[in-house]
Structure 1
Amino acid sequence: MLPLSVLDLSVVTTGTPPAQALRNSIDLARHVDALGYRRYWLAEHHSLPSVASPSPDIMIGQIAAVTQQIRVGSGGVMLPNHAPLVIAERFKMLEALFPGRIDLGIGRAPGTDQATAHALRRRLDIREGDDFLERLQELTLWETRGFPAGHPYNNVIAMPDDAPLPPIWLLGSSDYSSELAAQVGMGFAFAHHFASFDAVEALTHYRANFRPTRWRETPYGILAVAAVVAETDEEAERLASSMDLNRLRRDRGRYEPLPSIEEALAYPYTEADRASIARNRSRLFVGSPATVRAKLTPLIEASRADELMVITATYDHEARKRSYTLLADAFKLQRAAA
């Protein structure tokens, strides 16, 4: 049975303000925990009107506290925005409080625009160029205590020091990210829902080139996709219209809350708009449970994904919960004991 997981952006809609979107995330996490989902990951985005949560570590603690079995993690923490010691401390704390249930997913992108990224980092030690590898190495050194002799950090302790760092996952949408995850021997999650790079090639390359390390002995690839499921294909298409319009606006530089179905259906689409939506639909799986499973199965089999992680953004919160219920039934998840 293929494990299913959730990627959540705490989506803000035109009818759901950010504070309610955060509460909806907690409610959804309880729901999918009972359905038997494997993980619940929360993203880090800043200054986006459609995303309520810029701090996945805070949400992880809230969600882990009200769920029983599901693993809770970041999908991901954007490492360039943070001092590695801060990430080590926060996730060791989470692991100490919820042992065996926390994941640390890490990304290379800022998760925002350049001005916001500058505001986030202006008090940090900013270096020229991409320093992700340096930050990743420092993060792992807080766990291994492998700083060179005489290094000033040798006397610094990431507390609580009796709790390990949770499993580290590298997130990506390119061949570079799959290569890096393979070389450092960590879990890999591929973002099919926005990637232009081929998911099959990325996950195949990761598996073929994986090097066992202290972090993982064997490769493990998560395929992250966007999906909307309803009882019928027609209802799913109706629900997905909000995502279609939202993505169209994002492609034109308009980052707005998710529109209602009524607004999306009434929008005066041009032929160019419809062509853009059709292209974006290659990254969105829409339909009844049978339809969505049939669409996903070839991709899952070709990529040899170990796990499927699903992001669903609908205007109505109950429709989103229903979508995850129907998907769980389609993949025959074993529900948690009461």
Structure 2
Amino acid sequence: MIPLSVLDLAPISSGGTAGQALRNTIDLAVRAEGHGYRRYWLAEHHFAPGVAGSAPAVLIGLVAAATSRIRVGSGAVQLGHQTPLSVVEQFGLVDALYPGRLDLGIGRSGQRRAELATGARSGGDAAAAASPRPAARVVDGLLIPEPFDWSALAAHPDLAYQASLLQQPGASTPDFAEQIDEVRAFLDGTHRAHAVPGEGAEVELWILGSSGGQSARVAGERGLPFAANYHVSPSSVLEAVESYRKAFQPSKVLAEPYVIVSADVVVAEDAATAAELAKPYGLWVRSIRSGRGAIPYPTPEEADAHVWTEADRALVKDRIDTRFVGDAATVVERLRSLQRVTAADELLVTTITHAHADRVRSYELLASAWEREEAEGRHVKGQQ
């Protein structure tokens, strides 16, 4: 079986509050557990008026308290903003109460933010921007779009300022590989200092990445499970999983590579309803990629009122084109393509709609259709 898991950003809908968003997250986690999803991961976002998930460890504790079986974790803690000790202590504290259920997903997105800010000032992204850009292509039914050009966001005047707020003045972030090794040492009890709680915690360590760069290589070289972000960076998902598998070395954690791949999904009773629910997504992505931070998630009517320019459309095209929207059968078929092309061992589904009930229903319909197809597959296999 290929398990399904959930990635939740704790989105704030237009007209809503952070409190409502957090209560919706807890409600959705309880329902996801009932529908058989394997994991419930919480993202970390900052400077986003439309996202309440700024402190994943805190929210993970609340979700773990409200559920009983589903694994709960981060997708991902931005290690560039915290020390390995603080991260291990936070997750160790929650694990002390809910042992054996936590996934510590770590990303270097905090470091990437600082690199973009530095590049904007020094022109360090100029060479990358001038490199030939691969054309969009379809691989066995899966769209691999043209890469998104980050140069405009890197030049945003707020980027360096925001990066400065996420660290103490004068602080510098160590190399990502060194930080991962320090996290492992604290968890294993091999560090010179002792993290209590944290040392010996039954925490599953994951690394998340959007490209074939350092995150994928570090995950592979240390024999850790890896999560590739098709929903954030669909153009580089194949590069990411290939780099991870190429670098993989067996460890006491894994004998073979283990990959989870994310996808943005909206499922409804029929294609027309799903398309209506999905309308606000482009406007929401536009707010992120224009440097404003995620706005409160609009209604379909608010999305209809936006006048789109060609520049707007180019800004969000890769994300719109790679979102899986439709009835359950259609979305399951597209997710199967994603799983087949990436050889993913598990899929991580993220769904955002303005109304919480529509988001709940999307996950319910998907879980039911996925389980039905899995059962049919087992039946056919048993007859062979």
Q: Which of the residues 232, 236, 241 maps onto 1:203?
A: 241
Q: Hey, what does 1:99 align to over in structure 2? A: 99
Q: Hey, what does 2:365 align to over in structure 1? A: 326
Q: Deviations over 1:255-307 (max 9, x none)?
A: 32111111112222235544555433233111111111122222210111011
CA contact under 8 A between 1:224 and 1:310: conserved in structure 2?
yes
How many residues in Structure 1 have an aligned counterpart in Structure 2? 325
Instruction: Report the residue type matching 1:32 in the other structure.
Output: A
Q: Hey, what does 1:126 align to over in structure 2? A: 171
Q: Hey, what does 1:150 align to over in structure 2? A: none
Structure 2 counterparts to residues 83-162 of structure 1, below 5 A? 83-110=83-110, 113-122=159-168, 126-127=171-172, 131-147=175-191, 154=192, 156-160=193-197
> In 1, distance between residues paired with 2:198 and 2:179?
20
> In 2, distance between residues paired with 1:208 and 1:84?
27
Q: Hey, what does 1:315 align to over in structure 2? A: 354
SS at match of 1:331: helix
> In 2, distance between residues paired with 1:278 and 1:116?
26
Q: Hey, what does 2:205 align to over in structure 1? A: 168
Match status 1:189 vs 2:227: yes
Instruction: Report the residue type matching 1:320 in the other structure.
Output: R
The structure-2 alpha-carbon separation of the partners of 1:232 and 1:292, relative to structure 1 and needing over 3 Å to count, comes to same
> In 2, distance between residues paired with 1:14 and 1:85?
37
Instruction: Report the residue type matching 1:324 in the other structure.
Output: Y
Q: Which runs of 5+ in 1 are unaligned?
A: 148-153
CA contact under 8 A between 2:186 and 2:198: conserved in structure 1?
no
> In 1, distance between residues paired with 2:243 and 2:335?
20
CA contact under 8 A between 2:187 and 2:199: conserved in structure 1?
no
The alpha-carbon deviation at position 115 of structure 1 amounts to: 2.2
Using the size of structure 2 for normalisation, the TM-score is: 0.79
Q: Which moved more, 1:89-98 or 1:156-165?
A: 156-165
The alpha-carbon deviation at position 200 of structure 1 amounts to: 2.7
Using the size of structure 1 for normalisation, the TM-score is: 0.90
Q: Deviations over 1:166-193 (max 9, x none)?
A: 1110001000122221111111001111
Structure 2 counterparts to residues 175-324 of structure 1, below 5 A? 175-176=212-213, 177-255=215-293, 256-274=295-313, 276-324=315-363
The structure-2 alpha-carbon separation of the partners of 1:242 and 1:52, relative to structure 1 and needing over 3 Å to count, comes to same
CA contact under 8 A between 1:194 and 1:283: conserved in structure 2?
no
> In 1, distance between residues paired with 2:342 and 2:11?
28
CA contact under 8 A between 2:187 and 2:200: conserved in structure 1?
no
Structure 2 counterparts to residues 31-50 of structure 1, below 5 A? 31-50=31-50
Instruction: Report the residue type matching 1:328 in the other structure.
Output: A
The alpha-carbon deviation at position 10 of structure 1 amounts to: 0.4
Q: Deviations over 1:45-71 (max 9, x none)?
A: 112111112111111111011112110
The alpha-carbon deviation at position 161 of structure 1 amounts to: 6.0
The alpha-carbon deviation at position 233 of structure 1 amounts to: 0.8
Q: Deviations over 1:194-224 (max 9, x none)?
A: 1154323322342343111233332110001
> In 2, distance between residues paired with 1:161 and 1:17?
33
CA contact under 8 A between 1:11 and 1:52: conserved in structure 2?
yes
Q: Hey, what does 2:125 align to over in structure 1? A: none
CA contact under 8 A between 1:80 and 1:131: conserved in structure 2?
no
Q: Deviations over 1:86-142 (max 9, x none)?
A: 11112122222111111000010129743233222116x723x76222222211121
> In 2, distance between residues paired with 1:200 and 1:300?
11
The structure-2 alpha-carbon separation of the partners of 1:274 and 1:132, relative to structure 1 and needing over 3 Å to count, comes to closer
Instruction: Report the residue type matching 2:256 in the other structure.
Output: T
The alpha-carbon deviation at position 26 of structure 1 amounts to: 0.4
> In 1, distance between residues paired with 2:283 and 2:24?
22
> In 2, distance between residues paired with 1:165 and 1:44?
22
CA contact under 8 A between 2:206 and 2:225: conserved in structure 1?
yes
Instruction: Report the residue type matching 1:292 in the other structure.
Output: V
Q: Hey, what does 2:144 align to over in structure 1? A: none
> In 2, distance between residues paired with 1:329 and 1:275?
35
